[in-house]
Amino acid sequence: MVFSSLIFLFAYLTVTLALYYAVPLKWRNLVLFILSLVFYGWGEPKYIALMLLSILSAYAFGFGIEHYRVKKPPVAKLFLGISVGINLSFLLFFKYFNFFAQTVGANPIQGLILPVGISFYTFQIMSYSIDLYRGDVPLAKKFVPFGTYVTLFPQLIAGPIVRYKDVCDQLRARRETVSKFASGVTRFVLGLGKKLILGDAAAALAERLQTAAEFSPTALGAWLIVLCYSFHIYFDFSGYSDMAIGLGRMFGFEFVENFNYPYIARSISDFWRRWHITLSTWFKEYVYIPLGGNRVGKLRGFCNLAAVWFLTGFWHGADWNYMLWGLYFWLFLVLEKAFLGKILNKNRPLSHLYALLVIGFGWLIFFNDLGALTTTAGHLVGVNAIFADGSVLHLLLRMLPFLLICALACTPLPKQLLAKAKDRLPFVEALLSVGTMLLFLLCVAYMVDNSFSPFLYYIF
């Protein structure tokens, strides 16, 4: 089940909200826990047992970690290792076994399917165990609130990666208000619009350009493909995060932000402070800093970064292009730390152009296998391709207004203008409410008229 589906909006979400607010406060976590399992098991019910086993193992070993953390740290570390090892082994088996088998020439397991959301909920579970060992979070004594933390359906499938320390207080007590609920609805609808109206349209345009490139490759078409890839993944993934945050507010939760206008970044370091913030934070806290971070000398620090970015690419998928994608960004981060950052700081327009070019080519690596990557990269610089033809120019002219809207939506300018308008004009708030309603109706019409459209990050 996906958020951008009629069955979710008019069946699942409606029933869940009704049941949640119908029961007393003390039962609301249980309602969320049960109905989140229903949400998860809608398409693949057999993997509910796997997720429950992951939850139970972390919950049970958490008592051992807490009991021995001060008295016998080595024993607590053993419990931590077992807890993390169990959950990590599930992720490694389902996501990477066939990849490693094919790499060494062994037979893959036929029919081995990646459980939806396992990369996300495994990281959440591991963060609890590690933070408990460090003494950063209290022990989860009750199973239902802990199970709710892991299975909470708004962020279960594709993030944000919510750490236990960020929501443990909210699991015990949270404020559910009309204003927070309304804010959640608005945020959800905006995210839905970003995904369906902008993200899906950018994906369709990229597909048309790729089809055209098979018959008549052009450099302009290749650059437009890069642009559409960039818009597609941003509006799809940030749209999902907006919907997750909005749904969380409807149930009284406040999740951490996952995006902060990444395409206005002026360096790759800046980009990764703005893109998929919760994943970057996770790797920083649980991999980079424990390895020594940048406190161990420049060369060792670069090696630590390499480990983080190899794992970041590997987390995204069991394929060589994802690992290449991670190491590609590592290279630019190293260059910026070494000398490039000082040059970029002197020229703001140049630094922004540099960041966009590096990010755009990064998405080319992300979306393509190595063979297709080589071909498209060649087209970008005119290898085996003319600059443009009539069909690409015609398509560009037709889609130019859409591309300009996408570019504007990647900046904080619309939000800033609306904030100023609300301060000066009292009727703007009412207009925004009407606009949100119209956007929702437009999204519903889109869903009625189009087939199933999953989110990109569902596959991770």
Whether residue 338 sits in one domain with residue 415 = yes
The half-sphere exposure of 382 on its side-chain side, counting CA atoms within 13 A, is 3
Domain presence at residue 457: no
Whether residue 224 sits in one domain with residue 110 = no
Whether residue 235 sits in one domain with residue 99 = no
Q: How many domains does the chain have?
A: 2
Mean pLDDT, rounded, of the chain: 92
pLDDT at 455 over 90: no
Domain presence at residue 417: yes
Whether residue 245 sits in one domain with residue 226 = yes
Residue holding tokens 């992300």?
Answer: 366
Domain presence at residue 11: yes
Whether residue 184 sits in one domain with residue 169 = no
Q: What percent of the chain has pLDDT over 70?
A: 98
Please give the average per-residue pLDDT across 172-195, as a whole number.
Answer: 95
The catalytic residue positions are 316
Residue 422 pLDDT level (bands cut at 50, 70, 90)? confident
The residue from 124, 147, 174 where one domain ends is: 174
The residue from 149, 174, 199 where one domain ends is: 174
Residue 191 in contact with residue 216, Cβ under 8 Å? no
Residue 382 pLDDT level (bands cut at 50, 70, 90)? confident
Whether residue 150 sits in one domain with residue 185 = no
Whether residue 262 sits in one domain with residue 115 = no
Domain presence at residue 458: no
Torsion angle of C-alpha atoms 133, 138, 139, 140, degrees rounded to 10: -130
Residue 231 in contact with residue 392, Cβ under 8 Å? no
pLDDT at 460 over 60: no
Domain presence at residue 455: no
pLDDT at 236 over 70: yes
Terminal CA-to-CA distance of the chain, rounded, Å? Answer: 16
Please give the average per-residue pLDDT across 415-433, as a whole number.
Answer: 86
Report CA torsion sign: 278, 283, 284, 290: positive
Residue-by-residue DSSP string for 289-330: TTTTTTSS-HHHHHHHHHHHHHHHHHHH-SSHHHHHHHHHHH
Closest CA to 319 of 126, 114, 77, 172: 114
Domain presence at residue 213: yes
The residue from 143, 174, 205 where one domain ends is: 174
> What pLDDT is stored for residue 458 in this prediction?
57
Tell me the C-alpha to C-alpha distance, in Å, between residue 316 and each of 120, 300, 309, 339: 10, 25, 11, 29
pLDDT at 163 over 80: yes
The whole domain housing 21 covers 6-174
Domain presence at residue 141: yes
Report the C-alpha gap between 312 and 327 in whole angstroms: 9
Report the C-alpha gap between 149 and 124 in whole angstroms: 9
Whether residue 207 sits in one domain with residue 165 = no
Whether residue 89 sits in one domain with residue 232 = no
- How do residues 200-235 score in pLDDT, each as one tens digit? 999 999 998 888 887 788 999 999 999 999 999 999
Domain presence at residue 460: no
CB neighbourhood size of 160 (10 A): 25
Whether residue 114 sits in one domain with residue 251 = no
DSSP 459: G
Whether residue 142 sits in one domain with residue 189 = no
How many residues appear in the chain?
A: 460
Whether residue 418 sits in one domain with residue 327 = yes
What are the φ and ψ backbone dihedral angles of 39, each rounded to 5 degrees?
-60, -45
